[in-house]
Amino acid sequence: MKKSLKLPQKLMLLGSGELGKEFVIAAQRLGNYIIAVDRYANAPAMQVADCSEVISMLSANDLEAVVSKHQPDFIIPEIEAIRTEKLQEFEERGITVIPTAAATNYTMNRDRIRELAHQELGVRTAKYGYAVSLEELISVSEKIGFPNVVKPVMSSSGKGQSVVNDKTEVEKAWNYAIDNSRGDSQKVIVEEFINFEIEITLLTIKQWNAETIFCPPIGHRQERGDYQESWQPANISDDKILASQAIAKKVTDALGGAGIFGVEFFITKDEVIFSELSPRPHDTGMVTLISQNLNEFELHLRAILGLPIPNIQQLGYAASAVILADKKSDAITFTGVAQALTETDVDIRLFGKPTAHPYRRMGVALAKGKDENSAREKASKAASKIKLN
């Protein structure tokens, strides 16, 4: 990392969804120049960036073309589905890839990050196995036991994931995983189903020249493998917070580089179990748009640029609840925004995605409350008022 930082820097964002949009806003506030890239035009982050490019981020040639054209100082992946081998090449040519090119490759493959955490670092994870055919899935499932969770090794936001209760459901889970796998990967992971009390995201900030620091844990609830609501602080013991911080530090140290990571854990009565991590802001971390003095996007930016983070202040009980589409549409309008904003300490983000399909995340409601329940209720109530027409 360069010693004397000059602003503006040229930042290329690979992926331009809702997380990228808030990141671009944070980066613009310090006057940086941002090129927002995604697979479709008018993506959320493109609406606030200096310029944009529509390419296939899985194509090495397309990536080469936009990087040669813009010559960015930093490449900042925002999604997983990127030709990460090409990022390695950019890194070798002197462009800083966030957090590192290797980290993006580890985390886009569930098997690679799992091997790193469990085999190399000895971190506790759910019991797991892999399968590349239905026959193998049947035998691995029996070894792991039921219920278990089957996921494509390459997917995110719960795509292709299912809970398998017994042997009769294995074939359906196999077909679902293969149909929803990213790229042409035919490999699935089977995990022991963890009956957790709560699951959390520990936002972990890895810095170039300062200690790793953490945000207070974020609790969240998922459906279909996708986040529905999150809240901060999550009510877990100090011991478990320290245990999760130690694991997050171990894994992020092994990945290297700088930036924010969303490290996911299952918390049971007696254990802290590592699940996976995002080497970038996390969707459940959108709660920090209302719950902290510096949100996860501002923290990511500061960590990337090597700017100081003197303190992270948590501002009290807060929650986020997602606003999902319930139909297909390419003429997006919303009603109910005024109704959603009637209560104090409630805010809304509508991402500006140009098209909708069922369950696509279109916005998020944010709220503060006197306690966890009140914050969660306020956020969910506000989200429920917003209707996609």
Ligand X SMILES: Nc1ncnc2c1ncn2[C@@H]1O[C@H](COP(=O)(O)OP(=O)(O)OP(=O)(O)O)[C@@H](O)[C@H]1O
Active site residues: 156, 158, 264, 276, 283-284, 361
- Count of beta carbons in the 10 Å neighbourhood of residue 148: 27
Question: Which residues sit at the interface with ligand X, rule CB under 6 A?
Answer: 126, 149, 151, 155-158, 161, 191-194, 199, 222, 225, 264, 275-276, 283
CB 354 within 8 A of CB 377: no
The torsion angle over the Cα atoms of residues 375, 380, 381 and 384, rounded to 10 degrees, is 160
Q: Which positions from 153 to 192 touch ligand GAR by CB under 6 A, shown as an x/- string? A: ---xx-----------------------------------
Q: Which residues contact 355 (CB under 8 A, 6 or more apart)?
A: 328, 329, 330, 332
Sign of torsion over alpha carbons 270, 272, 275, 280: positive
Q: Which positions from 121 to 160 touch ligand GAR by CB under 6 A, shown as an x/- string? A: -----------------------------------xx---
Q: Which is nearer to ligand X, 127 or 387 (CB)?
A: 127
Ramachandran area for residue 306 (φ above 0: left; ψ -120 to 50: alpha; else beta): left
R_g of the chain computed on alpha carbons: 20
160 is in an annotated binding site: yes
User: From residue 37, how far is each of 41, 167, 355 by CA, in Å?
Assistant: 9, 43, 17
Which one of Mg ion, ligand X, ligand GAR, none is in contact with 305 (Cβ closer than 5 to 8 A by kind)? none
CB of 57 to ligand GAR, least distance (A): 10
CB of 280 to ligand X, least distance (A): 11
CB of 6 to ligand X, least distance (A): 35
Choice from 12, 14, 17, 383 touching ligand GAR (CB under 6 A): 17
Q: Can you tell me the distance from the alpha carbon of 233 to that of 200, in angstroms, rounded to the nearest whole number?
A: 10
The residue assigned the tokens 């109704």 is: 339
Q: Which is nearer to ligand GAR, 9 or 156 (CB)?
A: 156
39 is in an annotated binding site: no
Q: Can you tell me the distance from the alpha carbon of 374 to that of 319, in angstroms, rounded to the nearest whole number?
A: 9
Under the rule (CB under 5 A), what is the footprint of Mg ion?
A: 264
Question: From the annotation, which residues make up the binding site for ATP?
Answer: 110, 151, 156-161, 191-194, 199
Question: From the annotation, which residues make up the binding site?
Answer: 18-19, 78, 110, 151, 156-161, 191-194, 199, 264, 276, 283, 353, 360-361
